Structure 1
């Protein structure tokens, strides 16, 4: 530990969670003094990772055996359970594969790229189960045997976790992989034959803790280039200050920490885009490349008339001015040839010029006319437009008059051998075939600034930037993949900051660590492969992949779950996932093809959504179970609202196969009926929601059944689900306000995330009566657990009728439409 005098000052667990920037994505709540053990263990209990007798040992636990002599460990700080692993070669090269040691007999979860743009999870027990292009590896360590150098263990010890994160080491990028001998390896490469090295000292970050979620959060603070330099400088300054001042000035110490940190990175104290809290509609699955103004207006009109008005419009691919030399008029197009098109102008194409917008628009002559019209007519708050990181799929046309100034040249992507070990991607195959018009790196900011300033002039509020991982394939002669990625992301984010408010960017197709660790300020990223409405087997995979990817991605960005169809056989499966995902909610319905009954469970009449606070992640007991292919495990996802928890349970079995999987499931596309359980303890850090004085009891509301139960924290309810079924449970801590009154708000009971409607609960009393005040938003049926029946209830100071079920202690009343916010007062006799 850094600070050795008592009491332990939990720099990672306490300070980092309360810092407004580091906690901007809400990855885990502030644990304060009740934090589970993660990075900052008491000094007496910590043994840093070390290599001895051919074994890597971490806090007395053996992680790897047979560690080669060329593997080295370096330490960011003394008395920390964390280290960087690296290796030394006798030759310089642009790509190396180093063995780290044998990995056996630990349950493991890894996230790997199954194709160049996207990650999925994989489970196993040994090194041979770790696929190529693994970017996160989490081990469960359950043995109770002490080894040399570690404290003694007993059979009552909790489960521990070891985390491996391959990171960026200078101009090189590392990834993990296993071989048939169960050896864990790391591959480190520059992507440029001219960028070579032989010594790598900080290639894989390894850390240890009892809480997997806290471990992930705190490790990402070290591993990500977003934070490492600033964080290390901060810790050193804080350490020196503490040594100098000792314990007499703890208050000044904490104030100084905050001051130092905010001065270190003021440019990173950024706001999340406003689109996250409003219902959206994307044009992609509605029109694909054939998007046009009339269709957009038809979609906005039908959604608004149905009572679920979108406030966010994303005009996806199809609006830009491009040229495609590989598609000849009158000839059948070859598969994928559309990805050979190149950008010829930053302006809109003919479809958005000189067109009739519909309704009372008359003739529109520009993208600005159309965007302004739909904003005014349908009260749209935000309009985003799509573009690729390199302008378009095929890049920028080198010869077009309007794009010549960017000095683009046609290059042909070269993928890493690790990518060839998994699935091919059609878009990348086409880029390899047709080439990419790569903008001169020295001109990349000029392009972004031109593109974004033009969109801003057209009343557009932000962008979705796609095809980001292409940079790793064109690093040759450009200093390598990491150098090129850093340069492009710096230019991109500078342009976003200059031209748009609100950090208005959605990143997409960027699941390599080059992009993840090089991005400095972007705050939303797509968390899985595309939603594919016509692909029967992808529905469950999508939900499970996003959930597990969010363990990793959710620490540096807000995971985006992508769009979905509201009128679809798997619509409710996707809708409930978005309700618990903490993400923005947007659909891609074709005009007049909507399920408004479903949408009204997600969207309030004003177009806002009840978004959970954090990225939705798998519950603790699901981390090492395959919810798609093991035939027995349900997927459980947890999240918080301001005053409640929420758990979603999904049956993903029997409806799909993970890509790059050798094992074939016999339950594929068969009815799989499974039983599991839901418990208040599924919600991590629920005590932070409850506050002081909570005894662990919770009101558990089942959205599907409409039932209310009271459970102790370790109690549970059985849950049975068929394939592609899901259930949501609101978990509300029951607080005692006096000897008679115990109360817990449920929220809007007809909304998937009912507890998201609750903003605050207060209590007041005098000699004659007690008063509970609940502030919230939305309308409809409000519910709460109440140990006794109130005398009267009011909504915004008006007495209203209410119902009370003595058997379940469920209090309900109806909140009328018309106001955005409300206050309920429940009066009780003393």
Structure 2
């Protein structure tokens, strides 16, 4: 799986099985290898990570070569800056069984060796990542006004989805090119046409992948030139450095990275590939920074597709709706009334069995994306078929496959959430069984360890599943919380979970029924937000307490689904719920 620079600023994924399949300008390469006698067993796989690096004035990238060779391309962007040898232009690391550990280990080892960057886990995230936001770009494009911004904020607040941060994008000042003969009052020229030889050369790999960038006119205004900005940055020793580095080559302290090309509401070819590319890019970028999956429109044919992906991404969530053009039913699946969001704890990434499939091109694969909360996991399943980057046409294009016209089916396992065991409160004793709540249908199933659930989706359809490890309190007494079941990542609402076994557990009969009226156990939970709270219980609760008050609940004996209503936001940070079993 290669992440390559298909445009000047953006990277996307490409899958293959030989060196010649690696595109030019590949920034990250993950390879799966199996022993000759492995027989397809997962535990016989090992994973190799290739990280091309920056060395001095040079930067590396990977590409396929003649005879399916894998080549390292090292370039400075300046014909006068040359070198005959390199010592640290590529890092390679390997690990058995776990591809995510292989990537994390390789990046951590490179960080320890180079000491030129910090890991995502070492950086402090800005507070806005836990809040809902609004961006002006797709609302106004370059016609940004104070009245328009205020109208957009008022309409979101009135609908119950108050943004807590605002991105005022391009358009707040003029970006139009001045006339060539424009002069200031003192007669000085306001516009400087940048000389071609003062700009770093476009990388040959970028020129091949995105030929249009070779035609870019680089322009610098006089006030920038007066400040010493002339289209290049001089480093010690007068070594020229690119100003147009790809988005992942950012300063040491940057904690959030834009992980995909723009959300393009008017371009129907862009929507499925946007979700797929951002998920695969996050395998790489998520080790350095928290990936930002970009804005979306809540009132759009693909709104639920995009919105659900943002909700489980682990990154910031914000829309670019025009004032008054909102789908509040959708937004309330993402945003709490106080403007906060239920953010997952990691960068979302494709599941292990999807890392080397091509869910945008192969016509048979669905994309599964996993993430973690404190006491639950979350899975998103997406049909991304039908559009991908064309190496012939140099743009994203529709292509016809069976998967772009018919429903595709995949198998979902609880273990697809790669770190699901961390959500169990009793890891040594947990047997791997999970309760799985399907957001699309409102149904849930019990998945024993290793069991699979089939899911079928058409193009631009998705399903979100909350995966909750089942706690066996006593024989016949089982429990698993789902969280706020009307929200995409409702499992993140569960911030505290403690199980207590009571004396009644000692009175269970051989048929797993209690021989007295005593309680068997207590489930104590701290829950953030409001709305319908759901959980699985193998027996009907004796009672449910919300704080010091007993509250009503519903129980479906046929399924074991418990639901109680949290009617408002908690007075403190969380609701304190106790379920007596």
Settle same-fold status: TM greater than 0.5. Answer: yes
User: Structure 2 CA distance, aligned partners of 1:625 and 1:267?
Assistant: 26
Query: What residue number does 2:240 align with?
Result: 480
Residue of structure 2 in register with 1:171 after alignment: 57
> Aligned match of 1:140 in 29, 32, 41?
32
In structure 2, the residue matched to 1:500 is: none
8 A Cα contact 2:468 2:481, kept in partner: yes
As a proportion of its length, which structure holds more helix?
1
1:671 is matched with 405
Compared CA separation, residues 661 and 794, structure 1 to 2 (3 A)? farther
Task: For residue 267 of structure 1, report the CA deviation from its aligned partner.
Answer: 13
The answer to whether residue 577 in structure 2 is matched with residue 790 in structure 1 is: no
Question: For residues 142 and 266 of structure 1, what CA distance do their matches in structure 2 show?
Answer: 29
The alpha carbon displacement at 1:532 in A equals 0.3
**Aligned residue in 2 for 1:558:** 290
Matches of 1:271 and 1:639, distance apart in 2: 20
Equivalent-residue separation in structure 2 for 1:726 and 1:748 (angstroms): 19
- Partner in structure 2 of residue 511 of structure 1: 246
Per the TM alignment, residue 218 of structure 1 is displaced from its structure 2 partner at its CA by 1.1
The residue number in structure 1 matching 2:354 is 622
Matches within 5 A, 1:385-784: 411-425=198-212, 429-432=215-218, 434=219, 478-481=238-241, 511=246, 515-516=249-250, 519-654=251-386, 656-660=387-391, 665-667=399-401, 670-691=404-425, 692=427, 693-767=429-503, 768-769=518-519, 770-784=521-535
1:337 corresponds in structure 2 to none
- After the TM superposition, which residues 272-283 of structure 1 pair with which residues of structure 2 at under 5 Å, given as runs? 272-283=125-136
Aligned length in residues: 552
Q: For the residues of structure 2 that align with 1:617 and 1:539, how far apart are their CA atoms?
A: 18
* Cα deviation 1:162-201 (Å, max 9, x = unaligned): 1211111232110001124211111101222332211112
Contact 1:616 1:637 in 2 (8 A): yes
5+ unaligned residues in a row in structure 2: which ranges? 504-517
- Flag structure 1 segments of 5+ consecutive residues without an equivalent: 1-108, 146-152, 232-263, 330-341, 345-397, 448-469, 486-508
Residues 531/478 of structure 1: CA separation in 2 closer, same or farther (3 Å cut): farther
Q: CA deviation at 1:435?
A: 5.5
| Matched position secondary structure for 1:688 | helix
Cα deviations across residues 113-169 of structure 1 (Å, max 9, x unaligned)?
A: 001100000011111111110011111111336xxxxxxx89865211112111112
Quick one: distance in 2 between partners of 1:141 and 1:441? 55
> What is the CA distance between 1:439 and its match in structure 2?
5.1
Give the whole-Å Cα distance in 2 for the aligned partners of 1:533 and 1:577: 15
Q: SS at the partner of 2:555?
A: strand
Shift of the 266–700 alpha-carbon distance from structure 1 to 2, 3 Å rule, reads closer
Q: Is the 8 A contact 1:114 1:659 kept in 2?
A: no
Q: Distance in 2 between matches of 1:155 and 1:299?
A: 54
Assess if the C-alpha contact under 8 Å between 1:412 and 1:435 holds in 2.
Answer: no
Matching residue within 150, 174, 178 for 1:325: 178
Q: 2 CA distance for matches of 1:700 and 1:328?
A: 67
Contact 1:412 1:436 in 2 (8 A): no
Cα 1:567–1:521, aligned 2, differ >3 Å: closer, same or farther?
same
Q: Which residue of 2 aligns with 1:350?
A: none
Residue correspondence of structure 1 range 291-302 to structure 2 within 5 A: 291-302=144-155
> Match for residue 577 of structure 2?
824
Q: Does 1:804 align with 2:555?
A: yes
Q: State the alpha-carbon separation in 2 of the partners of residues 629 and 327 from structure 1.
A: 47
Q: Distance in 1 between matches of 2:102 and 2:352?
A: 13
RMSD between aligned alpha carbons?
A: 3.2
| Residues 437 and 660 of structure 1, relative CA distance in 2, 3 Å threshold | farther
Q: Equivalents in 2 of 1:131, 1:266: separation in Å?
A: 26
Q: Deviations 1:68-114 (Å, cap 9, x if unpaired)? A: xxxxxxxxxxxxxxxxxxxxxxxxxxxxxxxxxxxxxxxxx101000
Q: TM-score of the superposition, structure 2-length normalised?
A: 0.88
Distance 1:510 1:273 in 2: 24
Judge conservation of contact 1:581–1:639 (CA < 8 Å) in 2: yes
2:168 and 2:30 map into 1 onto residues whose CA distance is 38
Deviation of the 1:292 alpha carbon: 0.8
Cross-structure match for 2:45: 159
TM-score normalised by length of structure 1: 0.62
After superposition, where does 1:231-270 map in structure 2 within 5 Å?
270=123
| Deviation sequence 1:16-74 (CA, Å, 0-9, x none) | xxxxxxxxxxxxxxxxxxxxxxxxxxxxxxxxxxxxxxxxxxxxxxxxxxxxxxxxxxx
Structure 1 residues 604-659: Cα deviation after superposition (integer angstroms, max 9, x where no partner)? 111111111100000011011111111110000000001000100000112x2224
